[in-house]
Amino acid sequence: MFNKLKSAFKLVLFCMIALGLGTDGFSQSLQEVMKERGLSQQDLLAAAKTYTPSGKKDEYVVFSSGGQSGQVIVYGVPSMRIIKYIAVFTPEPWQGYGIGDEHTNNILYEQGKVRGRTITWGDTHHPAISETNGEYDGQYLFINDKANPRVAVIDLKTFTTTQIVPNPIMKSEHGAAFVTPNTEYVLEASQYAAPFTNEYVPLEEFNEKYRGAMTFWKFDRKKGKIVAKDSFSVELPPYWQDLSDSGKGMSAGWVFTNSFNSERYIGGFGKGTSKKWSNRLPHEAGVSSKDTDYLHMINMETAKKLFQAGKFEMINEHAVISIKDMVANDALYLIPEPKSPHGVMIDPTGQYITVSGKLDTHVSVYDIKKMTALIKKKDFEDVDSYGIPILSMTKSLHGQVELGLGPLHTQYDSVKGIAYTSLYVDSAIAKWDFLNLKLLEKIPINYNVGHLVSAEGDTTSPDGKYLVALNKMSIDRFVQVGPLHPQNHQLIDITPGRKMQLLYDMPLPLGEPHYAVMMKADKLKTIKRYKKKWFKNRVKPGREKVVRKGNQVTIYSTLIRSHFSPEVIEVKVGDEITWHITNLERAQDETHGFTIDQMNIHGSLEPGETETFKFKADVEGVYPFYCTEFCSALHLEMMGYFMVKP
Amino acid sequence: MFNKLKSAFKLVLFCMIALGLGTDGFSQSLQEVMKERGLSQQDLLAAAKTYTPSGKKDEYVVFSSGGQSGQVIVYGVPSMRIIKYIAVFTPEPWQGYGIGDEHTNNILYEQGKVRGRTITWGDTHHPAISETNGEYDGQYLFINDKANPRVAVIDLKTFTTTQIVPNPIMKSEHGAAFVTPNTEYVLEASQYAAPFTNEYVPLEEFNEKYRGAMTFWKFDRKKGKIVAKDSFSVELPPYWQDLSDSGKGMSAGWVFTNSFNSERYIGGFGKGTSKKWSNRLPHEAGVSSKDTDYLHMINMETAKKLFQAGKFEMINEHAVISIKDMVANDALYLIPEPKSPHGVMIDPTGQYITVSGKLDTHVSVYDIKKMTALIKKKDFEDVDSYGIPILSMTKSLHGQVELGLGPLHTQYDSVKGIAYTSLYVDSAIAKWDFLNLKLLEKIPINYNVGHLVSAEGDTTSPDGKYLVALNKMSIDRFVQVGPLHPQNHQLIDITPGRKMQLLYDMPLPLGEPHYAVMMKADKLKTIKRYKKKWFKNRVKPGREKVVRKGNQVTIYSTLIRSHFSPEVIEVKVGDEITWHITNLERAQDETHGFTIDQMNIHGSLEPGETETFKFKADVEGVYPFYCTEFCSALHLEMMGYFMVKP
C-alpha cells in the first residue's frame, strides 16, 4: 500500500511538471511545492483546460482580425490552436484566392477596387458574427479594412469571402464591422476625417469640408450579400470617429460611436511638413489636448426613415443623410467622454454603455435610460459647431470606476454586472462590477493588451468561462523569430467564484490582430463538399473536351484521383484560353490543386467545386500542369502537358 | 497523513485530466484508471512534454514548407505553437513583403520573375538549413518553388527572404532545396521533363529533346547569396527526377536523386486530350508500369571540375554539363529502385541510402561501399538509352525491409541504426532497424502521413527525442472550417527504450506543408533590431525634409512613438514620389507600420529599419497615412495627411 501511494505521489510531481508548474527536484514534499507556488487543486484543473487532447474538438471558436495581413484568423478555445486563416483582402494561393480563378479574382480585384485602383491587401480590424435576436447565429462573418475603407462578407458555410464592398465616401475608417441585433445592417464608421468627394480640399477647410460618417450597410441574409442600393450613411462632424457598437435590448435602435479628435487638430510637427502646418504640436499631442471628446448617439430607426423618405444627398452614388436633417429629426446627439476614448461596449441588457479613455484611468459607464430621459426632456448642456445637441456627461453617467492605466476595451461575463477591461499601459486585465462600480481584481498579462474577448462576450447572453487577451507584444515569450515578433494571445480562466488565472500563451505567426469574437463552435453549419448546382460551368465526367472558335479555346476538364482529363492540351501562341475545371471527388477533404507551371495561376478545388481560369497563351513553350495538393500516393503522377505552339 | 495522501491522490486524477488522458469521474482508483488506459508514469511524463508553459521557450524549432502558400512555417517543439510564417514567394502585407517597398519588391517582382513574367505565389516543398560539417548551423534557410522553378534564400538573422533565384533551364522541379555538408552548393532537381530551351518541342521528341537536370547553386556564405555565375547544372535523362539528397560522411561528394517515370510515359487519357496522345493509359498508370525506376548517383566533385574546366554548354546563360561528358568522366550512374520511388534519405554516417517505393511495401537500403566498389570494378549490369552505366540493384543493396503500404520518407534517430519511415497508405509511422533490416514497431497517425521529421534528423548526429508526422488530412480532428481542412502535424515521442507515443495534434491553418526540418532552437542567432549601417537611405532624426526637383519629390521621413515627421505633405498630381522612411525606435519589438490610404502600399518597419517606397501621385485627393501597428496608447493618433493637389 505504501508503495502504491509513493508511486501516486511521484505521479503528482510528474503531473506538476507536465502542467508547467515545475519543481526543482523530487525532494520537496508536495505540500511544500504547492505552498511555495501558491497552488490549489483548482489551479491544476484550470491549467488542465489549456490542453485539448488528440482528436478532441474545441468548445469555442474565435474569429480574430489579422490586422495588416488582410485576413481573418480562426482558432479553437481552450486548445488555442489556429485552425484557419481566411483570405479576405489579400490574395492567398493555398486557398486559390485571387491567383487566377474567375470567381475570387472578381471579388478581390473587381468588387474590391478603390477609386479604380486594385488593392492587394487590407488592414482588418473588427470581425462581427451575424446575429439573430442579439445572439451569434454562426451564418456569416463581416470584417473591415481600415486602410482602404471596405467591408467584406464571409460565408461560414464554406469559410470563404463572398463579397467586398468599398465605402464610396470614406477615405479612412475604423469602427467596423458591427451588426445590429438581427443583422439588418452592418455598421462602418469613418476614422480620419476627409472630404466625402474625391477632390483635393485644402486642410484650411477642415472644419467646413472634412467629415466623418456612419454607414449602414443593408444585409440581405437570404442572398448572403450587402445590398448597396439599400444602404446609406449619416454625416458626422470631423471628430475622428473610432470604435462603434449597435445598441441592443434597452438601447436597441441606437448606434454608438466615440471619437478622439473633437479638437479637430491638424498636426505639423517635424521638418518637411508643409509650412502652414509646421512648428505646431505633433498630432498625438494636439489631438489629446482636451479633457473630453464626444460619444455619438445615432438613432438608426429615424435615419432609416429619412433614407426611405428620400431625405438624403447622393454623393459618389451613395445616399448621405446630413447632420442637419438628423438633428432636425431628433436623431443625433453628442455626450462628452473622457479622454482620448477608444472602446465603446454595450452590456448584455443594452442599458449600460462603457467607454474607456486611453488617457484616463477610469472607465465611464453611461446609462441609456438617463440619456433618453434627457433627450425626451430636451435637457441639453450645449450645442456643437455643427448644431448637434450635447447631453451632460454627469447627468448621463451611471458612474465611473478607476481601473488603471490605459483602459481600452470591455467584454462581459455570464455573471450579471461583471465586466473585463483591458489596460494597455498597465499590461493587465481588470475584472470589475459595472452595476456597483467597483474594481474586483486585476491580472497581469504579457504584454500590452489591446482588445480582449470573452466567450460570446458581445451578445445578450455571454458565456463567461474563457477570456482571451490580445497582446500586442511578446518580446521574451517565444523563441525569437526576427526583429518582428509574433503577438501573444493569452487564455485566461474566468470561471465564476475563482480568481482569474492565466492558462496559456499562443503566438500569432502572421498578422496583428485587433479585435476578436468567440462563439460556441456547435453553432457552425459548415459544409463538407460543394453542391454541383452552385456552379454553372460544372464539367460532367465523360464530357471533357477542348473547343476552339477562332483563337478562343475553351477547355472543359475534370479532376479525380489521380489524373486530369484531358492530360495533353495543345494550343497556339495568342490563343485566349478559358479553362473550366471540376473536382469530381465526393470524399471529404479530397482537395485537388491546379497550376500551370510559370503561368502565375493557382486554384484550390475542394470536392464538388468548379473553377474557371482565363488567360492568354502568350509565350510559346512546354508547360507542365499538375495537382498541387498531395491527394493520393500517386499524386506526383497527376499532371499533364499544356503545349503552346508557335 | 491519510488526508494528505488522499489529497495527493486526487491531484493525480486532476493531472491526468490535465494531460488529456481523461477519466469518467473521481470514483475510480488511480490504479484502475491507469490499468484501463494502459498508462505508465512514463506515459504521463511523455504527455507532459506536449505542453510548454507560459513564458517557457521551446527546445526545438521546425521550419516547414507552406506548400502552395509560398511561405515557410516556423513552429516550436514540443509546444507545437506556430511562431512565424516567413513570406517567400507570395506577397505578405503584415511583414510588408512585396506591398510597395523597393527592397522586397525587387526580390519578389524583379529577381523572382520567370521568363519575364511576374509570379505572385510559389509551391514550396523542401526547406534546408545551412550546414557546417553536416550539422545545422542556423544561419540560412533555403526553400524551393516546384511550380515556377526557383530557390529562395532566407537569412535567419532576420527571418526574411533575401534572394530568389529562378532556374534558367527547368520548367518544373521538385528535389530542392538540399545542401552539401558545408553548404557549398544548394541542390535543385527538376521534376516533369521538358526542353531546356524555352521553345515549343513536340512531345513526339520527348525521348530525344526533353530532359531532367540537377542544378548546383553555388552559395557564398559570407555574402549570404547564391552566385549564379559560379553555378551549373548536370543534364539528366527525362525520367522525372524526384527527391534528392547530398551525400555526407562516407558518401560525401556524391549527390543522389531518384525518379519515377523511367518509362518516359506520356499520358493521354480522357476526351479532349490531343489526338496523338488519347486513348492511352492515364499518366498515373502509364508512369507506374515498370517494377523499378532509377536512383541517380552524381559525382559532384567531378561535375565541379568539369564546370571549372569549361566542359559545359551555355543554355539560357547557364552552364549545363552533358550526360555524355558526365559518363565519359565516370561521374553519373543509375541503379534500379522499386517502385515509383519517392524518398531518398541518407543515414547519419553517409553509408546507407534508403529509398521508399510508394507502390512497394518495402524500403530498400543501398550501401555506398558496395556501389562505389561496383563502380571501381566497372561492374555494370547494363547501360541506359543515354549511355549511363546501370549498377545492379541486388549487388548495391544492403537489404530490404517490409514496412507496410505506401512508404514515403525516412528520418533518423540518435540511436545507431534506427530509422522512421512514413507509410502514406497505412497512415502509420514505422520504426525500423536499417542495419539489421527489421521492422521494430508501428504507430498509427491521423491521417495519411507524407513527410516526417525528427530532431536534427537530417544531420550527421540526429537528436532523436521528437518526431513530427506531417499528415495530409485531418477530417475529424478539429472543428470544421470549410470543405478545405487544415493539415495535421502530430508530435510523437521517440524517447529510446519506450514505445512510440502520440503526444499532440497541431492543425496547420494556412498552407500544405511537404517537408520540414527540426533544429535546436539555441542555434539561432536572430537579431533584435536592424543596424543603421545596413540602410543607405536612412533618415536621421532632425534631417526630415521634402525635396522637389521638377516633378520628382523625395520625402525623407522618420517614425517614433507616436508620430510621423513630417505629418502633412503636399504634392501635385503627376509627381513621382520617392518616400524614404526610417523607424528610429531602439526598443525591441517597437515595429511601426506604414500605409497611405487607398494607394496599395504597406510597409512593416522594425526598430532601426529604413524602407523606400516609389509611386506616382496619379489621382488628386486627400489621403490619410498612418501607422498600422498598434505601437503605443496613442497609436491611433500616429497619422498624417498626404495631399495631392490638382
Contact B54 A425 (CB under 8 A): no
DSSP 8-state code for residue A630: -
Where in A269-415 does DSSP place strands (E)?
292-299, 313-315, 318-321, 332-338, 341-346, 352-357, 362-367, 382-383, 389-390, 397-402, 407-412
Name the residue among A33, A180, A28, A165 with its Cα closest to residue A107: A165
Q: What is the CA radius of gyration of chain B?
A: 28
Measured CA distances, A462 to A114, A136, A352, A411, A501 (Å): 37, 10, 15, 9, 19
The pLDDT of residue A269: 59
Q: Which residue of chain A is at minimal alpha-carbon distance from B562? A: A284
**Candidate from A94, A266, A472 with C-beta closest to B630:** A472
Residue B50's pLDDT is 43
C-alpha distance from B114 to closest chain A C-alpha (Å):
6
Residue-level pLDDT at B289: 87
Q: Considering only CB atoms, which chain A residues are within 8 Å of B67?
A: 94, 628-629
B36, HSE (Cβ side, Cα atoms, 13 Å): 10
CA neighbor of A166 nearest in space, from A205, A217, A203:
A217
Cβ distance B52 to A20 less than 8 Å, yes or no, reads yes
Give CA–CA dist B505/A52, Å, rounded.
9
Q: Provide the H-helix boundaries in B38-140.
A: 41-48, 102-105
> Are B588 and A475 inside 8 Å of each other by CB?
yes
- Cβ count near A150 (within 10 Å): 27
Extract the residue ranges of chain A whose pLDDT is less than 70.
Answer: 1-53, 268-274
In DSSP terms, which residues pair with B33 in a beta bridge? none
Tell me which residue of A273, A316, A109 sits closest to B625, measured CA to CA: A273
Task: Report the chain B residue with the minimal C-alpha distance to residue A542.
Answer: B271
Give the count of Cβ contacts less than 8 A between chain A and B.
630
Provide the mean pLDDT of chain B: 91
Angle at A23 between CA A17 and CA A29, to 5 degrees: 110
Exposure on the CB side of residue A32, measured as CA atoms within 13 A? 8
- A404 reaches B (C-beta below 8 A): no
Q: For residue A528, how many other CB atoms are within 10 A of its CB?
A: 16
What cell numbers appear for B135 in the block? Answer: 550539422
| Residue B208 backbone phi and psi in degrees, to 5 | -85, -40
Fold of the domain spanning B532-645: Immunoglobulin-like (2.60.40)
Residues of B in contact with A83 (CB under 8 A): 478-479, 481, 486, 507, 509
Looking at the predicted structure, is the pLDDT value of residue B512 above 90? Answer: yes
Cβ distance of A82 and B507 shorter than 8 Å: yes
**Rounded to whole angstroms, how far apart are CA atoms B286 and B280?**
8
What residue ranges of chain A are covered by domains with CATH 2.60.40.420?
Answer: 532-645
Q: Which residues of B touch A477 (CB under 8 A)?
A: 54-55, 57
Cα distance between residue B232 and residue B214, in whole Å: 9
Cα–Cα distances (Å) from A600 to A613, B147, B168, B225, in that order, read 11, 9, 17, 25
CB contact under 8 A, B22 and A53: yes
Instruction: Indicate the DSSP class of residue A511.
Output: -
Q: How far apart are CA B229 and CA B220, in angstroms?
A: 12
**With an 8 Å Cβ cutoff, is A113 touching chain B?**
no
B535 — contact with chain A (CB < 8 Å)?
A: no
Which of B416, B313, B417 minimizes the C-alpha distance to B365? B417
pLDDT digits (tens, 9 = 90+) for A417-460: 999 999 999 999 999 999 999 999 999 999 999 999 999 999 99
Using DSSP's 3-state secondary structure scheme, residue A483 falls into coil
Instruction: Read off the pLDDT of residues B360-383 as tens digits, 9 standing for 90 and up.
Output: 999 999 999 999 999 999 999 999
Integer Cα distance of A574 and A577 in angstroms? 9
Contact A81 B57 (CB under 8 A): no
Q: Which of A2, A9, A83 to mutate to test the interface with B (most CBs of B within 10 A)?
A: A83
Residues of CATH 2.130.10.10 domain(s) within chain B? 60-274+288-523
The whole-angstrom separation of Cα B339 and Cα B261 is 10
CATH number of B60-274+288-523: 2.130.10.10
Name the nearest CA neighbour of B612 among B531, B527, B539. Answer: B539
Q: Do B57 and A478 touch (CB under 8 A)?
A: yes
Residues with Cβ < 8 Å from B110, sequence gap 6 or more? none
Q: What letter does residue A110 receive in the DSSP assignment?
A: I
Residue of A520 and B12 predicted with greater confidence: A520
Cα–Cα distance measured from residue A48 to residue A78, given in angstroms and rounded to the nearest whole number? 10
The average pLDDT across B213-225 equals 98
B230 CB-near residues (< 8 Å, 6+ apart): B218
Cβ distance A481 to B608 less than 8 Å, yes or no, reads no
With cut-offs at 50, 70 and 90, classify the pLDDT of residue B621. Answer: very high
Which residues sit opposite B613 in a β-bridge? B101, B579
- CA B571 – CA B553 distance, rounded (Å): 8
Structure confidence at residue A279 (pLDDT):
72
- Strand, coil or helix: A305: helix
**What cell numbers appear for A81 in the block?**
490552436
User: Averaged over B157-174, what is the pLDDT?
Assistant: 98
Mean pLDDT of B296-311: 98
The three grid cell numbers given for residue B122, joined into one nine-digit string: 510559389
Torsion of CA B256, B261, B262, B263, to 10 degrees: 170
* Alpha-carbon distance B53 to nearest alpha carbon in chain A (angstroms): 5
* pLDDT tens figures, A117-162: 999 999 999 999 999 999 999 999 999 999 999 999 999 999 999 9
Nine cell digits for residue A458:
458581445
Q: What is the pLDDT of residue B286?
A: 85
Q: What is the DSSP letter of A19?
A: T
Q: Which of B35, B40, B81 to mutate to test the interface with A (most CBs of A within 10 A)?
A: B81
> In this complex, do B53 and A21 lie within 8 Å of one another by their Cβ atoms?
yes
Angle subtended by helix axes A2-18 and B2-18, to nearest 10: 40
All residues at 6 or more sequence positions from A24 whose CB lies less than 8 Å from its CB, including other chains: none
Minimum Cα–Cα distance from B586: chain A residue = A483
* DSSP assignment letter at B510: S
Cell numbers for B218: 553555388
Taking the C-alpha atoms of residue A202 and residue B645, their distance in angstroms, rounded to an integer, is: 8
- Tell whether A513 is within 8 A of chain B (Cβ): no
Mean pLDDT value across residues B10-35: 38
Phi, psi at B612, each rounded to 5°: -130, 130
Longest dimension (CA), chain B: 90
pLDDT-derived band at B95, boundaries 50, 70, 90: very high
Closest-CA residue to B339 (of B356, B354, B352, B322): B356
Smallest CA-to-CA distance from A517 within A126, A71, A78 is with A126
A337 contacts: CB under 8 Å, gap ≥ 6: A258, A292, A293, A294, A295, A355, A357, A364, A393
> Could you tell me if A447 lies within 8 Å of chain B, comparing CB atoms?
no
What pLDDT was estimated at residue A14?
41
Q: For residue B433, what pLDDT band results from cuts at 50, 70 and 90?
A: very high
State the pLDDT at residue A53: 65
